[in-house]
Structure 1
Amino acid sequence: MLKISNHYVSKVAFSLLFVEVLILIGSFYVGSAIRFFDGEDFIAPKLEHFLLSACVFAGAIVFSMSALGMYQLNFAEGLRNPLFFLRLMPSFAMAFGILTLVFYIAPDLYFGRGILLLVFGISALGILAARAIFFTTSEFRFLETRIMFLGVGPLAKECGDMATTATSYHKYDVAGYVAMPGEECRVAPTSVLQMEPGMSLVALARKYDASEIVVAVQNRRGGTFPIRELLECKLFGITVTDAATFFERETYQIRVESLQPSWLVFGGGFDQSFVRTFMKRAFDIVVSTIILALTAPIMLVTAALIRLEDGGPVFYNQERTGRAGRTFRVHKFRSMGTNAEKGGKPQWAAVNDPRVTRVGDFIRKVRIDELPQLWNVFKGEMSFVGPRPERPYFVEQLIAEIPYYNVRHSIKPGITGWAQVRYGYGSTVEDSVQKLQYDLYYVKNNSLFLDILVLIDTMKVVMFGSGR
């Protein structure tokens, strides 16, 4: 895995992206060469003038493919996954729309319909070929990481299950588990590695050709924890990873049940510097202004439809908990009936909630109901990307029941966020735990790069009606 601005990125996915960018730029030059070749010579002698247009073309395609989830494919399914073909053509159509807008704003970048159609065709063939090669090579053993787990208890079993069931981006070959004194064995006895008398941990790792050791021991107190041997492993080039970091890397979550306070205190991340705060505020203003301008007609139509359906108010204002626990009133398009909480007691929103109106059901699926929160962003009460703001009534309950829940209030809440695009609707405390684990990952690793990824994933959620 690579780390870009504290966010974990698969080496395979990054390599695929890099190769496809080269293919797209190369396809542009090949298409241009074919189009301008008259049989003997080029009509346009300097194709290097097309470099900027080629980069714009590649950027539009990559952005569209990302928005439609084409870099989150399951490598175990490969080209057999029908969604690959179903999303390739729409992504090209979306890119065509983006390019049309770019050509309207910057006509100097326009390179002709003939070239465009030819380049699209060559690019499609190149991407299909590249992905066929990547999916085929993903089955090779040299792409696997040989991994060993220190511990045999529940935490080690959970880590091992995750490594063996992972089907995308990173493949593991589990060498086995190393038993620690006082732990109840929860893994298969045949998978426990036997250490010969006097054998060191580094010798055991070398014997089984393990290149990484994941420390999955919950109780690390006492003199039995092999800290010196782990240091020796690290000095000999074997990667030593904490279970919390392993979960963070593989699931893009921070698991609450395996978390130790010292890991949060001494680990990296949690950037709240002036530069990060300034960049995030600038990002909020720019993105919100663009979205407000683009969606103003949609908001007017939505307001009219809400009023026509039941004659009730268009907007719904509700108290929510923001940064540092301060409360504010969030603004949304009303998606429920006017007496949604007639009993006076707050209720969890749920999938297929009977309180949702017909118009409300649609605007919730495509997130139009969230658009009035742009005003909260302009006021500085919210950010465009961040943890979902919750009602104070539920916050008090969740803080009492879930460890570290209050950490999510260290930054501004957002219209969209990492948890919203990664997890579906939550209507229970268990759902809140799952969403908190994504929120903790965002709070720890938040950056402009991660904000852009969330924005792209939000487009996918809007298009396919998934997540929340």
Structure 2
Amino acid sequence: MTLSILWYFVLTIVSRRLDPYSLAVVPGGAVGRLDEIGGVNWHWLVSPDMIIDRVNGVVADLRADLSDDWERYIADRALAGVPVYHVKQITESLTGRVEIEHLSENTLGSINPNQAYIKIKQVIDWVCALLALIVLAPLLLLIALMIRLESPGPAIFRQERLGFGGKSFTVYKFRTMTVSEPEAANVRSLAVTKPGDSRVTRLGRFLRRSRIDELPQLINIVRSEMSWIGPRPEATVLSSHYSVALPFYRYRNIVRPGISGWAQVNQGYVSEDDDETEKLHYDFYYIKNFSPWLDFVIVLRTLKTLLSGFGSR
């Protein structure tokens, strides 16, 4: 089963690159930004009499006030066996993001994750994390010793973060930076790591690039506070800021946060509000499509990220 999924995943990537999708676009409504999405041959229709051969589907804003001629065109294409996509549906599929501008679009449940899978995933996470802690214990102790020898301070970095159900918890990571002043620990500017941050130690750079600094979070998984895969938990001080600045921000806590996630493998590390909005769109896509198959894809892309160092700071 695993080999079949892996083969399908690789085949999909190769076919997308060798033979990009061709989609015909019906004018009207919110289709104007589709040409910003790469990897697709967009064919912009100018008349209902225009027929384009060998397209993978027709895209239209089905909520727009389309003319009778265009509605007949859409119906005829569907009868001819050509898939018809709503613009929002195709945008989410191609970008891996869910944009939510109004509460009515969410309808307080349309992107609720599968509750059965949440429970099954928790059991799998717990067993795998416990086994990993047992196997990696000697390595974890060695890394902790190296951190203590390089710079003064504890080997483990602790920080209060917002997690599942909006409850705060203490996250554990290997310390990769010099120790900050205690009284400044909750200042938002110190909770954000900037590119080339001078506080990062030499060993810390390696731990961050390889993501080894995340390994102590296995403890959080065993404590059922985190998962292997899910939206990254934010520091409480940052969560408070984003909850005010960004609509629906707290909704991302409807699933357990993860060591890796859909936003991390697509976007990398973010620090600005605009980037955080983009990250939120990726988080909502993950929640809406919450499934073992998406988790498996994230695992594969996480392995690629580990090798490339994408998004590390």
Which TM bucket (shorter chain)? 0.7 to 0.9
In structure 1, what is the Cα distance between the partners aligned to 2:44 and 2:22? 13
Q: 1:464 aligns with which of 294, 304, 308?
A: 308
Alignment match, 1:271: 113
Matches within 5 A, 1:21-420: 72=13, 135=18, 138=19, 144-151=21-28, 155-162=30-37, 165-166=38-39, 171-172=40-41, 174-177=42-45, 193=46, 195=47, 201=48, 204=49, 207-209=51-53, 212-216=57-61, 220=64, 229=72, 232-233=75-76, 235-236=78-79, 237-256=81-100, 259=101, 261-265=103-107, 270-273=112-115, 275-339=116-180, 343-344=184-185, 345-347=187-189, 348-420=192-264
Taking structure 2 as the reference length, the TM-score comes to: 0.83
Give the Å deviation of 1:146.
4.0
Distance 1:144 1:422 in 2: 20
Q: Which runs of 5+ in 2 are unaligned?
A: none
Give, in angstroms, the shift of residue 407 of structure 1.
2.0
1:353 offset after TM fit, Å? 1.4
Q: Normalising by structure 1, what TM-score? A: 0.57
How big is the shift at 1:266?
Answer: 9.1
Counterparts in 2 of 1:15 and 1:432: CA distance versus 1, 3 Å: closer
Structure number with the bigger relative contact order (C-alpha 8 A, sep ≥ 6) is 2
The residue type paired with residue 413 of structure 1 is P
Q: Deviations over 1:385-418 (max 9, x none)?
A: 1100012222222222223322211111111111
Name the CA distance, whole Å, in 2 between partners of 1:460 and 1:291. Answer: 20
CA–CA distance in structure 2, aligned partners of residues 240 and 260 of structure 1: 24
Q: CA deviation at 1:359?
A: 1.4
Q: Tell me the matched-pair count.
A: 302
Q: CA RMSD in A?
A: 3.1
Divergent runs of 4+, >4 A: 71-76, 223-231, 259-263, 266-269
Which 5+ residue runs of structure 1 have no aligned equivalent?
A: 1-8, 18-70, 77-134, 178-192, 196-200
CA distance in 1, matches of 2:73, 2:127: 47
**1:416-427 alignment, distance < 5 Å:** 416-427=260-271
**1:388–1:413 CA contact under 8 A, matched in 2:** yes
Residue-by-residue CA offset, 1:324-367 (whole Å, 9 max, x unaligned): 21111111111111116764512211222111111111111111
- C-alpha deviation, 1:160, in angstroms: 2.3
**Cα offset, 1:235, TM superposition:** 4.8
Please tell me whether the aligned partners of residues 233 and 240 of structure 1 are also in contact (alpha carbons under 8 angstroms): no
Percentage identity across aligned positions?
30
Q: Give the match's secondary structure for 1:331.
A: strand
SS at match of 2:24: strand
AA aligned to 1:156 is V
